[in-house]
Chain A
Amino acid sequence: MDLAQSDTNPAPQVKTKSIGQYLSSHLRQYGLLFALIAVMAFFQIVTDGTLLRAVNVTNLLLQNSYIIIMALGMLIVIVSGNIDLSVGSVMGFIGALAAVMIVNLDQSVPLTIVACLCVGGIIGAAQGYWVAYWKIPSFIVTLAGMLVFRGLSLWLLEGQSVGPFPKEFQILATGFVPDIFPVSWGDSLANLLEIRRVKHVNMLALFTGIAAAAMIVWIGLRQRAQNRLYGIEDEPKIFFFARNIIVAAALIFVMYKLSLFRGLPNVLITMGVLTIIYAFITETTTIGRRIYALGGNEKAAKLSGIKTERLTFLAFTNMGVLAAAAGLVFAARLNTATPKAGFALELDVIAAVFIGGASMSGGVGTIIGAVVGAFLMGVLNNGMSIMGIGIDYQQMIKGLVLLAAVIFDVYNKNKQG
């Protein structure tokens, strides 16, 4: 970058880069979005439209909810320069704990949920303690955790599956938010659109989609105006609008599909709210900023007065709570706790985060990237299953996708020098 050496002081006139240059230096962000769209289009075609059926879209969200919930925590752990291999086991263990508490011990559902989240936090804190204050590599600590909690769930369940759960617990994962708008509105819309199979359209889902899309566009526009004010390198107009239109349209489309089935799944709300909270924390709070500094250069962070140990500890504690939340959702979805629950799931979560653009060495990665990465994996899983591709090929393809994403990252970084 010879820009850095120039003697003049040109603040706001740098946005005259060509579109090609802009694209090549921001290939990663667009690449991920394009990849998701391409994969979805591909499966939509080869599955004769099954992929984007209302039922399947709903399923897709439900199937991947626990991966996404955990990817939020994993992103923070990975940005801080660590890794957590224990999340699959912790998730299974918490599911087992919930089953034992509710089914075997007749505890109330709210109490169980609170207790499980607390236990998750304690598990995360216990692992984080060794990583943060004893400087034991997180790979080893959480590898140990993975074995310990796998064993603990086996012990807790005595090798059996425990279930089923009462209704009020199941709705965590399989429930839908009731439509708050009059049914007649949905009926008339269904008539208007001449959709025969659907009795009425869930207006809440549709309006939520439109509102969320409008929100994203509005935030984007505001950001853009601000960037302009400070002379930050701007996204070319065409990219900005194309990107926003695609995202907004996709959002409305997904919500529309949901509205044709049973509306907004409870899990989607949980997932959406958590995603927004974590995106906010990582991007606009001091603690988020410090986590990036910690992962980017631990020594410099420490010498800047950042309490690096405490941050690492908190990152793992947070991961534990989210793994517990995922465990509850997973158990509620399967309506039973099994000793095998969550087996090897940590790898899917980690893969999602890396596909989303995080760096193994820390300091790089975004919440949105991790969520999109998780969806990409989810669509791959779902699409291949619909096509009837065997689990053997599925594994291979997923592995190659992960490798390709990371190679793409490294190649891009080298090219930019």
Chain B
Amino acid sequence: MALLSMQDISKTFPGVKALDQVNLDVQQGEIHAVVGENGAGKSTLMKILSGVYPHGSYDGKIQFDGAPAQFANISDSERQGIIIIHQELALVPQLSISENIFLGNERAKSGVINWRETNRRTEELLAKVGLAEAPSTLVDNIGVGKQQLVEIAKALSKQVKLLILDEPTAALQENDSRKLLDLMLELKAQGVTSIIISHKLNEVRYVADTVTVIRDGMTVSRLDAKAGLSEDEIVRDMVGREMTHRFPEHQRSPGKLLLEVKNWDVWHPEHTGRQVIRDVSFAVRAGEVVGIAGLMGSGRTELAMSIFGRSYGRNISGSVKLNDNEIDVSTVDKAISAGISYVTEDRKSLGLVLDETIRFNTTLANLEGVSSGSVLKRNDETKVAEKFKKALAIRTPSVFQKTVNLSGGNQQKVVLAKWLFTEPEVLILDEPTRGIDVGAKYEIYTIINDLADQGKGVVMISSEMPELLGMCDRIYVMNEGALVGELNAEDASQERIMSLIVNE
């Protein structure tokens, strides 16, 4: 019997069709895996299911527990027994386990909490999920793996009929992951139906009864995993798309060795003892575009930021050579003056001062270039901003426009302008086209090609594999903080990258 059936679900955001007639059928008592690349539409589908996107904002029908479901918000879906546990945990660290489990659902009479009842129920739930901690322990004092269990206990406290786990093991260590997956199987034995969203295909194979593959907002296949399923089969369905002309033509001839990073190690800034980057070595030639592929959380951003002035992590060790000379990248301004630029992943919170103008942002990383004796020459500044506005085709009536008013693509161009004005030899681009439309993407790709033609080295971090395949001369594959492979453009394919990641 189908517990959940989502039929022909379509969802459009301004300019993007996120979901196109997706179908998802979940049987009573099974573990159903939903897999797909970043941006395939998994999260959007789950947000529709849990009522984050309310009924009416999408097309299609949802049947849940034998009745049509039209959720207006999250509490609506929760009342029906659909509980979603997000990647970023929603616990309050300063509260105890029992307070967290019954948060918003307190065991109370006219506002007065019955602590005895609360703690008794918490103990029951903790026993169910196999967590040996006192109910009064603060959530802050237990590890991420145990916090995940608290989330599940919280879900169980609400008479859950369908439990959704979004990338539950992304932040977990190997044995914690295994424990969590075993708990899922145990809950299944007790009759709980669950959906797991995961990139890790070995885990999917371990727990799932059925697998639905989503790609580009469409259901690609529904695979029966009980009979045994090979990872290759899933990978093929996940990435099997034809490449079209989404990338500008380019001809590159990489020159001499430009940047060389050797034996780079980084430790987590807060959790001592957790190594985030393990012994990474890579090189970039002049006029070359090098990609770094990997899943979210694989350490790509951490690698880039730790190289760029130690903006991330601690106990950083390793060497960085530029043009065969070891350079000092211990602070951001040293890294910039050595010739390295890093275009951040999140342009709004890390890239731009949004309330300021295009001119302000363009010159921010190289104010020396528009000043004499630390007095700004504002006419020069305007000229520089105008120059980049023209060169990068930033669409705005004037460089005195506040950047907050620009579209995503134009904002990204302003960030690029800021870094180009520092005249770097190596540019590290972190998700340079995230959240911008297809046309603007093409323009950004053209800019990247131009930079390579000028002899600059470009490192491109991206979660979109087609983008890496379409742009890069070489691709490094990263997983769990280490490089697990290196592919030349002609040998690279989405299948090969994916299998390098999942075979780790």
Contact = CB atoms under 8 A, between A and B. Distances in A.
B398 A293 contact: no
Interface in B350-367: 350-356, 360, 364-365, 367
A82 to B, nearest CB: 17
Interface of B: 308-309, 311, 331-333, 335-336, 342, 344, 349-356, 360, 364-365, 367-368, 371, 374-376, 378-379, 382, 386, 395-398, 400-401, 405-407, 410, 418
B365 A11 contact: no
B405 A3 contact: yes
Nearest to B381: A289
7 tightest A-B CB contacts, nearest first: A305-B333, A296-B353, A1-B405, A304-B365, A286-B367, A305-B332, A4-B405
Nearest to B404: A1
Contacts of A284: 375-376, 378
A299 interface: yes
Interface string A328-342: 000000000000000
Contacts of B349: 297, 299-300
A302 B311 contact: yes
A285 B374 contact: yes
A191 interface: no
Contacts of B367: 286, 289-290
B311 to A, nearest CB: 6
B309 A293 contact: no
Contacts of A303: 308-309, 311, 332, 342, 344, 350-351
A5 B397 CA distance: 9
Contacts of A6: 395, 397
A301 B400 contact: no
B365 A297 contact: no
A363 B396 CA distance: 23
B365 A305 contact: yes
Given A304-B365, A304-B418, 16 more contacts: A1-B401, A3-B396, A3-B397, A4-B395, A4-B401, A5-B395, A6-B395, A10-B397, A230-B382, A286-B375, A289-B376, A293-B360, A300-B344, A304-B364, A305-B332, A363-B355
Interface string A1-43: 1011111011100100000000000000000000000000000
A14 B375 contact: no
**Which of A231, A303, A307, A364 gathers most chain B CB within 10 Å?**
A303
B376 A300 contact: no
24 contacts: A3-B396, A4-B397, A4-B401, A4-B407, A232-B398, A232-B400, A233-B400, A284-B378, A285-B371, A285-B376, A286-B374, A289-B360, A289-B367, A290-B367, A292-B353, A293-B364, A296-B354, A296-B356, A297-B353, A300-B349, A302-B332, A303-B332, A304-B364, A306-B364
Nearest to A308: B332
A273 B375 CA distance: 18
Nearest to A307: B333
A160 interface: no
A184 interface: no
Contacts of B309: 303, 305
A107 interface: no
A287 interface: yes
A287 B199 CA distance: 47
Contacts of A292: 353, 356, 360
Contacts of A104: none
- Of A10, A226, A304, A306, the most chain B CB neighbours within 10 A belong to A304
Interface string A353-371: 0000000000110000000
A279 B215 CA distance: 56
Contacts of A9: 395
Contacts of B355: 296, 363-364
A297 B365 CA distance: 13
A6 B371 CA distance: 32
B337 to A, nearest CB: 8
B308 to A, nearest CB: 8
Interface string A268-303: 000000000000000011110110110011011111
A51 B406 CA distance: 48
A297 B349 CA distance: 7
Nearest to B363: A289
Contacts of A286: 367-368, 371, 374-376
Contacts of A290: 367
Contact of B397 (A14, A230, A296, A300): A14
B144 to A, nearest CB: 24
Given A3-B405, A5-B407, A226 B395 contact: no
Contacts of A289: 360, 364, 367, 376
